[in-house]
Amino acid sequence: MALPHHPNNNKNHNIHNNNNNNASPFPLPLYLTNGIFLTLCFSVSYFLLLRCPHKLQSSFPFHAVTLTQLFSLILLISSFIYLLNFFAIGFVQSFIATSRPYHDTLQHDVVPKPKLMDNNNNNNSFTCENDVVLDNNKPNGFIISEEDEEIINSVVNGTVSSYSLEEMVGDCRRAAAIRREAVERKTGRSVLGLPFIGFDYESILGQCCEMAIGYVQIPVGIAGPLLLNGGEYMVPMATTEGCLVASTNRGCKAVFSSGGATAVLLKDGMTRAPVVRFGTVARAATVKFFLEDRVNFETLSIVFNKSSRFARLQSIQCSIAGRNLYIRFTCSTGDAMGMNMVSKGVQNVLDFLHIEFPDMDVIGISGNFCSDKKPSAVNWIEGRGKSVVCESVITEEVVRKVLKTTVPALVELNMLKNLAGSAIAGSLGGFNAHAANIVSAIFIATGQDPAQNVESSHCITMMEAVNGGKDLHISVTMPAIEVGTVGGGTQLASQAACLNLLGVKGASKESPGSNARLLATIVAGSVLAGELSLMSAISAGQLVKSHMKYNRSNQDITAMIS
């Protein structure tokens, strides 16, 4: 399938050559054709100029020309028209293109010039000179060849599996386009508005997303600068919730104006907890004692650490339920979030244990004692990923002028809402106003696993009056921030750019793991800013008013898309 070129490729001037010169109307290569016409133009011009002095000397009228001169004039005009068309128009178009907005050029990708033709009784279909079909209904200018048409029909009728298209056609972008068309035909519903062009489908193969048909656009805003541990950070937040970035930005301003915030990393260790079964409770208890015995820990560490040069086993915690033993491994994982790394280490230990205890039956490498992507007391108490506490003292003047409220009002609201209210609700790790908002926005922007927002948003927000009751001390304690700066979505171009903005892109060569730890503290500092601003808005009675102003759109989105 031939797909339109992206304007960023800066190769529009080579399009004809890249198509094996098939697009050229001349039998000769394009560079020879240009050379012939250029030579012809100068040669004929020189010949005609030589005739002018002769006519002046002989008083021969200029409008009277011989057959040779007439033929020369025709050649001059034709060569001039060709050269004007090739060079001048191209120059004007390039000049106009540079003055157009970037988003406009994205919508005018180069495609073969179509000729109108009624194809399958569809007045919106066209056929091009290179025997492909261009459906004008498609928002991104899909070009479907006859070969691709056969594959699409095979996917629709089930003879070809959609998940195998990448391997079958050998081109991820082409496979996504075929799958997209097949989905529309099979469901009878359009995905108009779902972007396709402008994304590197090769980058997600085997690591981020399967059976792709496009990508979703989420706007990214910037909150900051966040003054944290003496450094300033502009925090990228990907969200569709109005007021969120603005509110977090106001919190950052309040923190900055009061001298900044301080964050401390308390713990750093990813967990995985397989569940194994034994014949009796006594046998399960024997293995529990074996695993928790410090004498055996060094041997188990050697076995575990073989999985990676960054993986280092930190602890093993066991819990029994009848004949079932749940074994919670905790290890450091460098700058990676580390789920795959710790899982490989756990598998090594299980293989080793099976030799020592052949009656051990491995039920699953994850027994939910980890606990991943679920709210749990074990993460709230023991921590998972990065455990961070962050604090700041906001002066009375900043509380009054920036946050538009008072210290006593904030302290009372925090006690009744975040502490007492959450307790009444039976909340688990949710003793905060909206930590999940900030965590999710940063996670999406920086390529983290959005589902791990569940435990990463575990947070308790504390507020109290200090310095004689004039100033506000605010802190957030977050025991399970699960982030990484390598692997997964962090390798995608947009997400990598956001990580680079924070200065934590990729792995740290000087101090492995320091980039991921810094990212965790930035998340905690941003949560503190978001908590401060939202609580102030609620305290001052501004929440509903601000959301009605900034979280409501008067634009007709349907009309914009169509």
Catalytically active residues are: 241, 373, 449, 547
Pairing of strands 459-466, 361-364: unpaired
Q: What is the full DSSP assignment across 48-117?
A: HHHHHHHHHHHT--TT---HHHHHHHHHHHHHHHHHIIIIIHHHHHHHHHHHS-HHHHHTS-B-PPEEE-
Burial group, residue 74, by CB count within 10 angstroms (0-12, 13-18, 19+) = exposed
Provide the 3-class DSSP secondary structure of residue 272.
strand
CA distance 276 to 43: 90
Write down the H helix ranges in 394-491: 396-401, 407-413, 422-424, 435-446, 453-456
Other CB atoms within 10 A of residue 161 CB: 12
Distance CA 447, CA 372 (A): 17
Strand partners, 385: 269
- Name residue 128's beta-bridge partners: 114
Note the helical H segments in 293-331.
294-305
Residue 124 has a CB neighbour count (10 Å cut-off) of: 11
Other beta carbons within 10 angstroms of residue 114's beta carbon come to 16
The answer to whether 48 and 65 have CB atoms below 8 angstroms apart is no
CA-CA-CA-CA torsion sign (342, 343, 347, 348): negative
At residue 122, the 3 state secondary structure works out as strand
CB 184 within 8 A of CB 213: no
